[in-house]
Chains A and B, each alone.
Chain A
């Protein structure tokens, strides 16, 4: 059975994506992935996400956002000027056909609800619509800063690092997806329709290691960089690798590194001594792998069930990456200019697989096939 032939778990719903955010648009892309008919509702100037980088570098396409492309695969687009009467009328017409709407903070939910009392409305926003930070501006670094994660991220002697990209927003998108599915389960079982909401700052805080519970338990903090965790990071001829030492695997690890003498070295004889002499141990490992290929070292370690990995750069994770190729992870999307690349599924469902990705819409472009 190919992906195209199966209806998808969410083939019974229509979704209006009014979110105008990375979080909301990722939520709606997941809904589209698993079968929903998703309409991206854009202002006449186009979604603001169309103007966020990174952008393509292909000639003549330098103003095309790859972020927008990635977040809006499989959707159709309708232009609605919500400031005009005809625009509001059109939105009401669309709302009447929708099972779900994803909206930003401050959206006129009452009008939408009036047009369609059965629609599940999900507000996805930085800090929500109430409370002391409702008017605060949120960006990825702001969410990470307030999550309790960022202070721990980086090297102890350097400033904290926020990370990269829009990871908190994406996770808020996944949380919003789950909130919608939960509300749909309730609606299907009981007929109860409700508003739901996910805040990005709240999501980011929920992704943090349990530092706050630890602090409540005993008043202690952890140092930035999680020093003390048994992670060895060393360079090889073709990049960095990481090894996580489990106490019961220390001997096999030393063997895999071709250094059985380290297993009997008195500096590393017990957990406590290894912890004490960890920099010396890392230096010993570095010496032994510096002239080897990362993949070979990691392969030897994994053959003995030692947790190890190569630190891949994005350019090493393309369609030619061996593991991803074997799994047929990367997919191609037909477009007017020929096939383009898209990432594969988040999860693979045996009965209701993800729909094959379709190109994201041009402004105001109805989907070329499908619909309800």
Chain B
């Protein structure tokens, strides 16, 4: 049982409004948790919207990492500190540019406050299992009573209908159902996850695209609507050609590590500098094959009959790998990648976190933009790939502390008096400090 915290309430600030961006002047309310939903909101915030993340203090966004077991790697200097929910790398990575409103919808006056916020919102985005809004008393029809042209985007895992609609899910289980996990592996029949919860960012790209489609239609017609974005079905598009192939032929694709049936070499090779340093090399054309042989100083390989065609190279993958590794293992991964690319061979260093921060290309795109966070310090926050010539977007401010904008929302957006705000705080509908 948790105890009531002795910490003081959060310092209250006003968010900095965006100016001249594609979604400047739009307000999106977000009832989300973890990655996919918050990242969808982060995309809309980056495009200029004021995105209000509702996160009750007694039921925090799971990415605030407020679990009984402290995971030190998630915090600055591996220290949770007094308010570790404000210092979690996971939450702080996905909530840049947002407004935090720690409203408890289930507490007294919570629903009324939510309804008032909806009346001032252009969009609502959620990523809970279907039915959550209805159980709270907010069916679409109910929401449209407060705001007739509201755009509602729900991001359920499996959709709002069908046998699995009520099933709970996370990125690492959704990718299994989407068919991705089964077609990644080392060729031993054991599936391998597609990446660290790769379904979540896919859901975020799709969820924000769904909201933009609804907002564009609304801008032209004045009509709001409901959009259901089932994360698994939307992600299936990304391997659609394999799913159609399977449906037409009854066959699954070959699974053999990084190797392909129609290109070779297509693999990673060890680089110098450590046991887990790698370079990826992908040769598709005969020109690239000849260029690779020249670049690694083994021109004789280009005329070796074992490697003469793609089919032969695929047959002799192990000999091929040995010859290439003999060259790559003497070189720094970045150096090897640069040499190969200069020679016209697709290649890249396999990046670790520090390589991401040091990458000249990504830095030119301002991918790791330093932002000051009052409780986590100044750190480079990773960005998004949307580039506009005349309305350039980039992160404006770091993720909010819990409940940092409660007074801004209540006073300036909803017109509540100081006495009304104090009452909501007194009865616990608005709290900026979770139980200890």
Chain A interface residues (CB < 8 Å from chain B): 9-10, 12, 26, 30, 34, 53-54, 56-58, 66-67, 69-71, 127-128, 130-133, 135-139, 141-142, 144-155, 158-167, 170-172, 174-175, 177-179, 181-186, 188-189, 192, 194-199, 201-203, 205-218, 220-222, 224-226, 229, 231, 233, 239-242, 244, 247, 271-272, 275, 302, 305-319, 322-324, 326-327, 329-330, 341-352
Contact = CB atoms under 8 A, between A and B. Distances in A.
B354 interface: yes
Given A202-B365, A207-B201, A327-B161, A163 B246 contact: no
Contacts of B381: 213
A202 B93 contact: no
B217 A9 contact: yes
B108 interface: no
Contacts of A137: 288, 341, 344-346
B182 A311 contact: yes
Interface of B: 22-23, 43, 47, 67-69, 72-78, 89-90, 92-94, 140, 153, 158-159, 161-164, 166-170, 172-174, 176-186, 190-198, 201-202, 205-206, 208-210, 212-217, 219-220, 223, 225-230, 233-234, 236-253, 257-258, 262, 266-268, 276, 278-280, 282, 284, 288, 341, 344-357, 359-362, 364-365, 367-368, 376, 379-391
A314 B252 contact: yes
A275 B208 CA distance: 35
13 contacts: A137-B288, A142-B346, A149-B195, A150-B280, A174-B205, A178-B47, A188-B220, A198-B385, A207-B201, A217-B77, A242-B172, A315-B250, A344-B233
A317 B252 contact: no
A115 B52 CA distance: 42
B173 A244 contact: yes
Interface centre among A70, A177, A217, A226 (most CB of B within 10 A): A217
A152 B195 contact: yes
Contacts of B74: 214, 217
Contact of B89 (A151, A210, A341, A343): A210
Q: 5 smallest A-B Cβ distances: which pairs?
A: A210-B93, A314-B246, A182-B22, A215-B353, A309-B173
Given A154-B192, A312-B176, A326 B161 contact: yes
Q: What does DSSP make chain A's interface, helix, strand, loop or mixed?
A: mixed
A206 B391 contact: no
B356 A148 contact: yes
A184 B180 CA distance: 33
Contacts of B346: 136-139, 142
Contact of B162 (A182, A221, A229, A323): A323
A135 B345 CA distance: 11
B209 A205 contact: no
A202 B133 CA distance: 35
Contacts of B267: 159
Given A9-B213, A203-B385, A313-B183, A141 B193 contact: no
Nearest to A136: B341
